[in-house]
Structure 1
Amino acid sequence: MILTVKLNDNLDFPIIGLGTYNAGKEGEVEEVVKHAIDIGYRHIDGALVYENEKEVGAAIKAKIAEGVIMRDDIFVTSKLWNTYHKPELVMQGIKKTLSDLGLEYLDLYLVHWPFAFQEGGSLMPKDENDKFIPSDVDYLDTWKVMEECVKLGLTKSVGLSNFNSEQIQRVLDVATIKPVVNQIECHPYLNQSKLIAFCKERGIVVTAYSPLGSPNSIAMADTPAPLKDPKLQEIAKEHEKTAAQIILRYLIQHGTVPIPKSSNKERLKENIDIFNFKLSPQEMASIDALDRNVRVCTFAEDHKLYPFNIEF
């Protein structure tokens, strides 16, 4: 059974989830999600821009039809994409997601990034120099319609993704419905302690994406992938667990909700088999010490609202 944490609107949020970004080739994602539900996952994290929500929805529908779950048993998150930030387009964005998923409501809807792209065409609009074409929408205007999505019953909760501390505070200063979550990259090489503390003080739960450090993405000469880190492997041996299980346990004890992804059935099982042991304060401190501010996801860095140019 997956444990939960209370969000600031009193909803229960499962403390580990399945990430669905690049969760398999086209046609595989449905099977991955079905298998994840069968083995006990009750929190599925997706987004319009992942372009696999029809498969995710088909898997959920199949498992409801089989009687494995009821709709209320599964926590489904999606995200508003950057080309839908204009207030008049937000509803269009969430309704497309709901239609693709085949659901009447989401449990959580996030603003995927604090910046907007040119509307009306490609999800990744670029100019002749291969630069993203921005749209000058203030995410505070976007947030007002996110709140309307809650009032209309299209989503139970709303939150943020990839927002820094200043951007979160701007939202809090005007919000009538507080964001419940900020989803950010978080792993042992980017442990986000300051931003996690900032969010915690304001009653916002942090969801950790790329929790295993996206093993294929971190390729600095002096930086092994976290899964190969000697300290993590040493702790794993001590607990008779894998390095991935140590990282996920660390992130939960660190105060986050990790959303690992895998298309491998055995690894899917391993990733939720983390509730039968605890890391000691000394082990937590030694993993904290691995932080080196290495970021995997550096998307659209030239946008004026790119969030990671400030400390946290």
Structure 2
Amino acid sequence: MTYSGERVLVTGGAGFIGSHLCRRLLDEGKSVICVDDFSTGSQGNVAPLLDHPRFELRRHDVALPLHVEVDMIYNLACPASPPQYQKDPIQTMKTSVFGAFNMLGLAKRLGVPVLQTSTSEVYGDPHQHPQREAYWGNVNPIGMRSCYDEGKRCAETIFFDYHREHGVQIKVVRLFNTYGPRMLVNDGRVVSNFVIQALQGLPITLYGDGSQTRSFCYVDDTLEGIVRMMGTAPEVTGPVNIGNPDEFTVLELARMVVAMTGSRSEIRHFPLPSDDPTRRKPDISEAARLLDWSPKVGLERGLDCTIAHFHDLLGRQGLVTASRKVRSVG
């Protein structure tokens, strides 16, 4: 790949989605500065990139100012699963809010575009289904999840105020549940939880009766949407939903994972956490119109790759007990 000459900053670049984005940008011929404080990101995610001549890794907290010279900014820095962002809710809010101020200030100084990865959680427990970008949401501002939900909502406000007041070229995408290889073992997201439990023959922990729905988007599809959004004309600001509109109950997901792993794990029900959304499904008509984007990877195919990743990871530690032979990640 020919070097494009473009330098790109990726905050949260050692995280699950961020590390995939760093690799993709390098493959496109760009130079990448990856910034992460490793509170939830993993150096192992970017270890294969460390010897790349156009890759630079910096340990830094985006809640603090950052001085670099780049041509575009992808702001992905923030804990993204409930156990992670509830572990230190004040820091989670600082990451979202101060991180937004710092990345926007940098973009303003450099005159470069900046993309914010927002979240479907800005819709809260929605009264509108599926969720469209024009929907303002139903969020509890003082609940256990509000550090993340309201932090991301506030970040969107800051982005649009910088755009209106200072002419900063912004891009805002709202990501729905994304899954795939490089999710952490202790991530706490529903897909990784179910896969790890099934591979180890542990009970599948299902909260509530499992009738709550989610829409799962494979990481390659999410990346395609993010990159296409950055490549749009300056007047395209978003927000734009990036997610897979195929809707599944959490119980359906659990049963699919058990079947695909050949596990004997039983499904156990636990009380539903507070403010847990009952339904989640994106309306992606804006992504189709503005980005010519729609997801290509179905849940079964995406789970196959994700299960293979965790099978290899846990297998090296002798922790896999599931009977079905899962193909190796190639």
TM-score of the pair, normalised by structure 2: 0.32
